[in-house]
Each structure stands twice: as C-alpha cells, then as structure tokens.
Structure 1
C-alpha cells in the first residue's frame, strides 16, 4: 500500500519491533531543546528524572524505567552494548563530547520536525535551529504565554496598559510561531472559571502582580485572573494552544493537572475554531481521550510519560487509544535537556504503537492497511494538518 506520505509499506508482515513506523519521519509536536555543554553525572541524572533533587546517597535516578531504557536504546548509538552499565555509558558519553553525542542521538530519532517550547531555561539550551541541524530536521517555535507576560512586566508595563502591551508582545512573539503554550497547571492548576476575565479584572490583577516589584516574585506569574487572561489571549491569537496536563516536576500539584478540570473552558472556546492540544496527560490520559472524543477542537498526546514509563510504554499508548478518535492523537517526546530523551520518545513510541496496532491486526480486530494508516496519522500526519506543516 502507499501511505499519504508517499512511502510504500508491506502490511501485517512488517508489524514487528518498530517496523510499522520505521520509514516515517515523526513530527514531535511538543519538545524542548538540549543543553549546550557537557554534563557531569549529577547533571545528567537530574535531567533524567522529574525530581528536583538528587537520589539519596548510594542510589541513582538511573535505577528507573527511564534509566534502563537509556542503557537499552541509547548505548548502542554510542558504540556500546545494549544494557551497558551506567558508569560505562556516562564515561563514553563524556569521551565523545556533546556535539558528537547530539549528532548520533538526534539523528537516530528520525524526526522530520521539532516544535520546540522556547519558554523555559532557553539560555542553557541550543536554539531550535541548532537542535534540528544534527538531525537534518526542520524546527518551529512554540511560544510560552506566561514567558511573554513576564517580559512585558519586566519592560515596565502599567496595570492599565498591561492588556494592550501583552497583546502587542504576543503578536510579535508569535509572528512565525506554530503554537502557543500555557503552563497554567504549574502556576495555579487547571480548575479555572471558564469565561475570560473582564478588562477591570485584568487591570486589578495586573496591579496586584506588578506591585510585587522587580525580581523573582515578578518573574513568576501565578495570578489566576492573569493566567486565565493569557489563556484566552492565546485562543484569540488563533494558533493551536498547547496546555500542560498531567505529571511533571515537583513544582506541580498533580491533582490540579487533570485535564477534565478544563471542561468548562473547552465548552466556552469550542466555537472559536482554535485547536486545544492537551499535552502529556498521564495519568489522566483516559480523561483526555474522553475530552478529545466529545470536543471537536481537542487533541492529546502521551509524551513525557512514554519516556518515564519505559518498558511499560505500550500499555500507556494502548490506553490513550481507547476513546480518542485517531485523528486527535499526536506524537510528542517532551524531551528536555538530554538528546537521549528525544531518542527514547521516538523509539518507545514507535515500538509501543507498533505492538498495540499489530496486536489488533493479529487478533483480527483491525486490518493491516488501517493500522498502518493510523500509525502514520499519529506519528506525523495529524501534526502536519493541525499545525499547517504540509506544503
């Protein structure tokens, strides 16, 4: 058969390992870049966990599903045997140096396009273009709504002028961007009033925030009224709006990151025509699948979780496909800092999706052509359509 991307595929016989997607260059619709310089062991371990502190003495964060997956899938790319000891892996990584490690790992991910969130620790990371170059890939930007607001505040905006200044700054920041992103889940939680705040409410909230003065307090926007205003500003901008849901680092209240809490907001914006992209979702991926089914503008992925659950990635991917329409599910890695996370996101996704869909074909529940078509949709086609990447 011939897929929409023009690649000829072989049907059920190819459904082993990662074969169903081996010729498909993925679109990673949400990720971050990788660190610029070399890493010592402590630095590497902190980037291989969502924890914000080192493991206890005598322990390692690499004794985890993610750590074992690195040793299985990334070690051979550095010339080591699969499952090489962590000490050997880190020693060889240091010997090769960041540029060579990035070249080997990022190219192995076989990603056609990275859509890169540039709103977090950007000064420590490669630019999107620098990330894409070793992989021979394209890159686009995802603009973080809160980061734009924090720059506006640092620029001396007044309470009365904040809304207009923010609208201008967001338009400028997104002139060539593919999407915007909200980290409302981190700053407040997803339980918000569904309607946009009034101009008077925004002005009063901006006054409260700006009176904190310069420094760390001003640099972190956590006022729920302003966060809601930013989210609606993103919707009005018309680009896909990515919203972090589900687990993340310890700065997050997991109970407040359930995407079902956004139900009222999703109803309120349904008529605007703006795609809402529920990022990551785990352990609430079944709730996200329900939302994607009942709302025409809602999409989801299980990025981040796939890396961290490692050998259990197949189960999470299968659960994400229980309710969600297949044109609503996308691939992402949410890789941050380590090129290994780009490799794992792609490898575990390819293998997990192939195992799930191939199993349904083997059971007679699906046809092989349908399985390959859906695999391509989730791996690349849906993102190409939603983000306007075709042509």
Structure 2
C-alpha cells in the first residue's frame, strides 16, 4: 500500500516490478569471517586492527536488513549473524536473500568464469526470477587475444565472437573507463592504428588491455553489434564499478556492498525506467542514467578510472561520444556514476533518447510494461539483492512527497503568539546578550557596567 493517494501515472510507476539490470553471480561456498568482511568492504581490504567492517554504515545495513531474512533480530551481533549463515549453509542463505529481494529479473554479468560464483541460470532459480546474461566486451577481447596469432585474425575473430555472444544476451557492457578513462573519441580509430595496436597487444596478451586505440576500437565494435541486435550498451562510470567480478572472486563490494550503498547514502543508488515502457517512462526519466548503479568494488581498490586518475571516469567525458551515437540509435546506460551523478544527469538530459536508454529486456519479460531498474553492482554474496526490496519505502516517500497536500499556512493569530513568545525570550536574555556581543574594539564590560537588576 502506498502512503498517500497518488495520480494513476505515479501509482503505476511506484508499483512497477523491479529489475536488477546489472549484477554478478554470488558465492556458492561458505565463507569465514575474514573472507566475508573482505566482500563487504568497499576496497576489498581487511579492516584496520581493532576495527571491523561490520561497524561501517555498510555493515550496519547488512545486519539491519539481512538479519531478519535469516530469522535473526535486526542488528544482531556479527558473530551471531555469521554463525546463522554457517548454520543455514550457503545454498539456503542465497535462496532466502535472493528471493527476499523481490526482483522479477536478474541481468547477470557473466565475465567471471569462477566456478565459485552462481551462473545466471542459478541466480534466477535461487531468486525465483527470470535471469539473462550481460556480455562484457573486454572479457571477449581477452579470450580472442589469447588465441589469435596475427593482427588481422585478431580483428576478425573479435567481431565474430562479439556477434555470437550477443545473440544470447540482453545487453553489452564495457569497463573502458576503468582501463583508459572515458575520453572516447566520437570517430572510429584508423585501420592502420588499430592493426599496429593489435600487434602490440598480441606480443603479450596476458596483460590487461589498456591501449586506448584498441579500447576505442572495441567499444565501437560493440556499438555496431548493439545496433544490429537492438541491444543497449552499459558503461561503468565514477568511483564504483571498475572490473568487479572480472577479477575473479569479485572481492570488492559484493551484494552486501550494494546494500550499504543504497541504504546509507553511499555510492550508487537510484531508479531507472526506460522510455516507451508505459506511464513510468517519462515520470522516472529524471532518475535514469546517472543514478543507475550500486556500490561495487573494482579496479585498483575501487577506483573508477585508470590507476591514480579517477577523474577520467567522469561520465561527462562521454558527451562527444554520446552525441555520435544519437543517429545510430544505440541506447547507453551509465553505471556507478558516484560522485559524478550531476554530470550523468546532465548527460541524460542532453541526450534523453539515448543516455536514458531502453533497458535490456529479459527473454521472459518481453511484454511492454513499466518497471524500475536497479543495479546491485558487484557480486559474490547475496545480501545486496535485499537492497532492491528495501528501496521501495524510501522511493515511495520521495516520489509521493511531490503529490502531498501543501502544509497549512499558520494563521495570523498563531504567528502573533509566536512573535510575542520570541520577544519575551529576547527581553529576558538582553543583559547577557549585551555582555556577550560587545564590539571587539571597545573595552570589556565589568560588573559595574551591567544594567541594574529589575526592581521587584
């Protein structure tokens, strides 16, 4: 039930189903305290001596909202919380938390091939929801670089593999901002420059891809495939995101990481609904683009840009590139835009038909219906999925506030009474105010200068 009576358009938007349009698989094994605390820290580092990540706003949010789903009291002690997780087992914990999120579809970044993480199919089965795959283009490039012998073969195989993987996916994603920054050229790189960069890449394919020429070529190749298949292209922006689960176990953030970011005002958060999705499209467009994303870990301890250059992950640097995509009709979705959410909102307003973007549609939910999108961010543990359910009350209050009746204006008599009370208070405190507020260029007052006490 909604707190107030709202117009039909607003009501439909608030009651729309939730789609987690960017997440990773969660861990299928049991975790000790040290491993668990690594997963709920923003940078994947142990807590300083004498402290614990459970005392951070993130850890408090985990115990507050996830504890009851495990039959615990809110804010149960960390030892009790972890003992309950161990008692239930990882499988049951994943089922309870993923199902308790109230999500109708999970769109899972399958970049990580770690067998300890649930696949997209398993995520959907545990959560009682639809699940589909998001393809990270840098992951495909890594596989192609490991097998190609010549630069020409590398370029041909890259296009073929992107097309093949996109055929069974609902969206493409790039982390170019974490590798070389978001200064993407609005024009395609020259063929000769690309071949020269490919030769350098094949000389040592095991290193991470950081060559800006190849990354620009890769992104433009993804644009071509997305245009052909009618898919959106997601961009990691801001301080969150980074490489996430692609680093293997996804040690930064995790689902609990997303929970803290959403519930404690941290990075990420927000709602999105794509245009053309019924009445909610135009209403929630202001929340799209820059506010899609969760709190996840990533490249170089959570930095969104290249190491030491987080400012290069500012989505405003995509302005020229977004303008070049306008005539191509490829939707862009911005993830993890904190703390550049104002720039992301500007980009969504400057290119509303593209940057606000039509979201990836799960295969089981092709019908045109309003939905809210929320990105839980990185994976590894399922607690952050609960954030998607807990967003509803705050979102309802926020969006319903604009439609509440105006506050009553105080009557003149009430204002006069307030004025008399304030005047009486000032009269009572006048001697003290005179002593306290004496100008600094005058000598200090003594008791002899103080006004005489009032006669009885």
Kept after mapping to 2: 8 A contact 1:47/1:338: yes
1:204 & 1:123 partners in 2: Cα distance? 36
Q: Which residue of 2 aligns with 1:299?
A: 356
Report the counterpart of residue 126 of structure 1 in structure 2: 118
**Equivalence map 1:70-219=2 (5 Å):** 70-120=62-112, 122-212=114-204, 215=206, 217=207
Q: Quick check: 1:347 aligned with 2:389?
A: yes
Q: Secondary structure at the match of 1:160?
A: helix
Aligned counterparts of 2:23 and 2:406: Cα–Cα separation in 1:
35
Structure 1 vs Structure 2 CA RMSD: 2.5
Alignment partner of 1:269 is 2:325: yes
CA deviation after TM superposition for structure 1 residue 184, in Å: 0.7
2: CA distance between counterparts of 1:43 and 1:64? Answer: 16
In 1, distance between residues paired with 2:338 and 2:128? 31
Q: TM-score, structure 2 length as denominator?
A: 0.67
Give the Cα separation in 1 of the matches to 2:159 and 2:313: 26
Give yes or no for contact 1:242–1:277 (8 Å, CA) kept in 2.
yes
Give the C-alpha shift of residue 352 in structure 1.
2.7
Counterparts in 2 of 1:90 and 1:120: CA distance versus 1, 3 Å: same
> Structure 1 residue 56 and structure 2 residue 48: aligned?
yes
Which segment is superposed worse, 227-236 or 46-55? 46-55
Match for residue 224 of structure 2? 236
The secondary structure found in structure 2 opposite 1:362 is coil
Query: Which whole-Å deviations, capped at 9, do the CAs of 1:162-188 have from their partners, x for residues lacking one?
Result: 221100011111111000100011111
Change (3 A) 1:363 1:290: farther
- Determine the C-alpha separation between the residues in 1 that align with 2:6 and 2:100: 20
Change (3 A) 1:269 1:20: closer
Taking structure 1 as the reference length, the TM-score comes to 0.77
More displaced 10-residue stretch of structure 1: 76-85 or 248-257: 248-257
Change (3 A) 1:259 1:65: same
Q: Which runs of 5 or more structure 1 residues have no equivalent in the other structure?
A: 1-8, 302-326, 366-391
Q: Does 1:65 align with 2:57?
A: yes
What's the CA shift for 1:107?
A: 0.5
Q: Which residue of 2 aligns with 1:283?
A: 339
Asked if structure 1 preserves the Cα contact closer than 8 Å seen for 2:134 and 2:172, the reply is: yes
How far apart are 1:23 and its partner, in Å? 5.8
Report what 1:331 is aligned to.
Answer: 374
Aligned counterpart, 2:264: none
Q: Does 1:357 align with 2:399?
A: yes
1:66 Cα deviation after fit: 1.5
Structure 1: distance between partners of 2:98 and 2:188: 41
CA distance change for structure 1 residues 51 and 121 in 2, over 3 Å: closer, same or farther?
Answer: farther
Listed as ranges, the gaps of 5+ residues in structure 2 are 241-297, 359-369, 408-456
CA distance in 2, matches of 1:84, 1:201: 58
The count of corresponding residues between Structure 1 and Structure 2 is 324
Change (3 A) 1:121 1:258: farther
Q: CA deviation at 1:39?
A: 0.8
Deviation at 1:355, TM superposition (A): 2.2
Greater Rg by CA? 2
